[in-house]
Structures are given as structure tokens and as C-alpha cells.
Amino acid sequence: MGRKHPAEEPGKGLRAVSNAVQQPRGRILYRLWRYMGRSRLLLVLALVLSFSSSLLSLYGPKLSGEAINAIDLGAGKVDFGVVWRCAALMAACYVFSSLFSFLLNVVMVRLSRRVSRQMRHDIFENLAALPVGFFDRYQTGDIISVVTYDVDTVNQSLSADLLQILQSVVTVVMSFVMMLTIAPELVLIFVVTVPATAVFTKWLAGKVRPMFRRRSARLGALNGFVEEMLSGQKTTRAYGREAAVLERFDEKNKAAVDAYTVAEAYGTITGPSVNFINNVSLTLVCVFGSLLFLQGKVGLGDLSSFVQYSRKFSGPINEVANIISELQSAFAAAERVLSLIDAQPEAPDAPGAEELGEVKGDVEIRNVDFSYLPGQPIIHDFSLHARPGSLTAIVGPTGAGKTTIINLLMRFYDVDGGAIYVDGKDIRTLKRDSLRRAYTMVLQDTWLFHGTIYDNIAYGKPGATMEDVVRAAKAARIHSYISRLPEGYNTILSDNGTSISKGQKQLLTIARAMLLDAHMLILDEATSNVDTRTEQEIQAAMRELMRGKTCFVIAHRLSTIRNADHILVMRDGRVAEQGTHESLMAAGGFYHQLYLAQFDAA
């Protein structure tokens, strides 16, 4: 009952997953950190390996300085014992540093994999709890884009960018400490260059982040359009609209590419700019370091060590600047992921809500008003009383509000005014799952999943026996077709059953509904895809199987509801007429006109 006809919801079109709810970067990092914190052992191991790898690599310049200081330039002597000892220690440090770095990469990949798996789980878990109205507002293709592309983008950032930042922080801090121990005077150079780098990077990040947010949105819109066009390709070809569809695709593709190009172009400015500032600082270190050496304040080995530490100090800053664009992309993707995770689920049941136990099937709609959008009413002062075991047909022109009534009965939406009662109980005081279990639904839009025919028919009744499934299939007039298949009920259906006809798909969904032991039945144009003779057979079978159960039927073929106990004629969201087929025909009103319009040709 997901999609409503556009006429029933004027002015409300599908749109991309909202990325308007912008979250501060600190908040995003905190939530990503919480995801990582669920694997504490791996996280602690990653921190230990990162610290150990950086510490060992940073000890190398200190050793090289000691080796250089072992050379007495004035006497022309070299203490080879010190040199060889320093060289051996340097080799050991760099070997173990590389080993720890490799292990760190392995740990981070596993950690990010767990995070992405948990994110997808949280997204899908929340999608299952979202109200139907959410899927009426957002494009399916864009939601899929978040679950796949955006989660992968965040995952890549965690496994690569976050690892690099983690190592860079350790390297910068340790390098700064080592430089302070060697020549505190030279450290003053970085008092100017580091703040300049930080200010420039922050300013550029503020400019770039909206560009990456726009890039994600444009890509989501493109995916939504592709999904929509692929699902309707037969209609596109039937109407010869291939050129028009291609033109629209080119427009959306160009918009996505342009957004990507602009974001990447501005994002790549950061690296070269920061690199220029770092080169300036390195030049100043060499100049002023040489002056200190000539004054005898630092040794040649110490100066060499300081230069190496300054490169290690500025190098990570430059690397972080180079991945700023990737981080902005990750932030934009994380916003969209978190937007889906944070999307408000269906409102919880009212406090003290009760189970709908033994259902008699007495349904009353009393003075109901409803609108999808404020100020645009769809249903006005609507009333209906369906007694247990009765068959109520709802007819009317497109956009009259027929499907909306079903949405309200199932409580996919809550009424704005009035109330709906089942067995005398306001459905807002009942638990939703018990209310929905009391209904069986067969929709015009058939839905089959990848699995056997048996699995598809038994979908709503886990544990159903083969005998139960066969009985339902016979009642739905689909058993003979299934029996002719090579694998019978074990035949695999895939891709929403594209290998079988629409009529056969409809019969399978009807068999699925017949298998359930529900006390109320909803048929929304359920026989629109079958021929007239099969339709009559199904109607007779359903009347027999649903004897004593309350039925609601939305029908455009008025011939199928002539035997209904009560026919409700809707027009512009109101009940225009109601009664039996004979009484409505005798009245010569709107129903009479609809009926004659369908059967004049006959």
C-alpha cells in the first residue's frame, strides 16, 4: 500500500534523501567513534600499533644525529663503534616500524569492515521501522545509494584516512617533543607556520564541505532516476521516449559530474597550498639552523636530526591537508547515512495499547478527515460501517481517495479527525502489529522475492506445510500452472518474478493471501492483471474461502462487485452514494453513470 496515486496527494513529489539536517563535524566524528568503540579490542590494538610504529620510526633521526656527532671533523676521526651501533638500531627500528604499520593496516581494515556492516544493519533495521509515508516521499534509488555508496565512502575513510590521521597526530606530537629537546629556538618558526596552515585549512574546509554534500545529493538523484527508468523501460520503449529519457539522464549525469568536478577541484587546492607553507618553514629551519651551527649552539648531527624531525612534523600536516577533500566527502556521506539511521520510525503504540485478540470483523469509520499535506484535505467527514462477514466495495474515479481509505484502515497513516473502530475499539488504542495481522492484503502492485514458489506463497505464514500451500494455490487457480513447471513448487523465482506473466504473479500473491487465517481481507484492484474468466473463478473461490470474514474491495471493474453487500461510491474524498448494486443502478446517480460508461460498448 506504499505508493499513492499522485492525484491523491497533490503537490507532493519524490525527492532525494534529505541532507538538509547538517550535523557538526565534531558530532559526526563522535558518532563514528562510537561505532568504532563497539570493537574495543581492535580499537585498542590499533592505537597501540600506531603509537609503536610512529615511535620507532621517530627514533631513527635521533640515532642518525648520534652517528653524525660520532664524526670529529676537526680531528678527522670517526667512532665506528657508535656509527655501527646507531646503524643497527636504525635498521631494527625501521623494520619493526614497517611491520607494526602493516599490522595496523590489517586491524583498521577489519575494524572498518565491522563498522560498515553495523551501519548497514542499523540503516536496514531503521528502514523496516519507518512509516509507509517515508517511502512515499523519498526515491528508492537514492536510499539504495546511501546504503551502498555512502556507507562505502565512510568505510574507506575509516580504513585509510582515519588511519593516516591517527598516525599523523602521533608523529606530529612526538616530532615536536624531539625538536624541543634539540633546539627550542628553531621551534619558534612553527609558531607562525602551523597556525597559518590551520587557519587556511579550516577556511577551505568550510568552503568545500557544502560542495561534497551537493555531490552526494546529485549522485543520489542520478541513482534514483536510473532505478526509476530501468523499472519502467518497457513503458519507455512502448511510447518511444528513449531519446527523451536519454536527454534527462544526460542532464542529471552532467549535474552529478559537474558537482563532482567542482568538489574535487576545490578539494585539491588544500594539499599544494599547505605544502607551500611547509616548504617555507623548512627553508627557514635550514637558514636559522645554519646560523645556530656557526655560533656553536647546535651540533651538525643535532641540526641534521632537527631537519629530519621538521620534515616529519610538517609531512603529516601536509598529508592531512591532502586528504581534506576525502574527509569532506566522508562527512557528506556520513551525514546522509546518519540521516537514514536517525529518520523517525513509526510512532510507538500508545501507552497501554492492547492486542487485538479474537477478531469479529466489525469495522466502523466515523466522521474521518485526513490529508497528506496540511491544507490539502483528501478525505472529508467520511463514515462507513462494515459488519462482520460483509463484503464492502469501494469504487470511484481516480484520485477519489479509495486507496487512502485502505491506508487508514491499516493505520499506515493516522486520521486527522474522527476515528476508526474495529470491534468497537479505536484502532489508535491497539498495537499496530496485532491490527495489521488481522488483515490480509492483495495489492495491484504484485511483489515476489527471490526464492521458491513455495517460499513466496508461504511468506506470510512461516511453517506452512506443502499441503497448505497447494490448497491455497488450487483455490487461487494457479496450481495447474505450477505443476507444469519442471521443479513445481520448488521452482526459483528471481528479480520480482519477471520470468512469469503479470497474471500469474497476481495469482501467486492471491494464493499467499488465501493461506493466511485473517479475519479481514483487503483487495486493492487484486484481479486487474487476470482475464475475465479467471477473475470470476477467483471471486467465487474467495467468497467461499472468506466466508464469515469482513472484506474490503477496491475495484475499477464494476462487474466484479455486483454481489457486494455494500457499495461505497467515493467522489472528491466524500461518499457520493452507497447501497447495493441494484439500488444504486435504480437511483440513476453517479454509480449508474460509471457503470454505463464501462459497459456501453458491450
Q: How many helices (H) and strands (E) does the chain have?
A: 22, 14
pLDDT reading at 69 higher than 50: yes
Cα–Cα distances (Å) from 320 to 162, 197, 285, in that order, read: 10, 11, 22
Equal fold, 27-342 vs 363-599: no
Higher pLDDT, 65 or 135: 135
Tens digit of each residue's pLDDT (9 = 90 or more) over 120-131: 899 888 888 888
Higher pLDDT, 220 or 93: 93
CB 551 within 8 A of CB 387: no
Q: Which CATH number fits domain 363-599: 3.40.50.300, 3.30.70.100, 3.90.600.10, 2.60.120.650?
A: 3.40.50.300
Q: Distance between CA atoms of 220 and 132, rounded to whole angstroms?
A: 20
> According to the model, what pLDDT value does residue 99 have?
92
> According to the model, what pLDDT value does residue 10 have?
32
Domain boundaries, the chain: 27-342, 363-599
Question: 550-554 and 520-524 as β-strands: parallel, antiparallel, unpaired?
Answer: parallel
Tens digit of each residue's pLDDT (9 = 90 or more) over 3-47: 343 333 333 344 555 444 566 777 888 888 888 888 888 888 888
Q: Distance between CA atoms of 254 and 248, rounded to whole angstroms?
A: 10
Size of the chain, expressed as the number of residues it contains:
602
Class of domain 27-342: mainly alpha
Report if pTM > 0.85: no
Largest CA distance in the chain: 126
pLDDT reading at 183 higher than 70: yes
At 371, which helix (H) or strand (E)?
A: strand 363-373
Q: Distance between CA atoms of 561 and 594, rounded to whole angstroms?
A: 13
> According to the model, what pLDDT value does residue 421 have?
93
Residue type, 232: G
pLDDT reading at 1 higher than 50: no
Average the pLDDT over each of 190-204, 436-450, 503-517 and give the range with the smallest value: 190-204
> According to the model, what pLDDT value does residue 321 have?
62
Tens digit of each residue's pLDDT (9 = 90 or more) over 281-339: 777 777 777 777 777 667 666 677 777 777 777 766 666 666 666 677 788 888 888 88
| C-beta neighbour count of 323 within 10 angstroms | 21
pLDDT reading at 539 higher than 70: no
- Looking at the DSSP assignment, which residues form a beta bridge with residue 579? 567
pLDDT reading at 346 higher than 60: yes
| C-beta neighbour count of 483 within 10 angstroms | 12
User: In the 8-state DSSP scheme, what is residue 548?
Assistant: T
pLDDT reading at 419 higher than 90: yes
User: In the 8-state DSSP scheme, what is residue 3?
Assistant: P
Angle at which helix 25-37 crosses helix 80-129, to 10 degrees, equals: 100
Q: Distance between CA atoms of 106 and 93, rounded to whole angstroms?
A: 20
> According to the model, what pLDDT value does residue 383 have?
86
> According to the model, what pLDDT value does residue 422 have?
92
pLDDT band of 420, cuts 50, 70, 90: very high
**Residue 289 region by backbone torsions, left for phi larger than 0, else alpha for psi between -120 and 50, else beta:** alpha
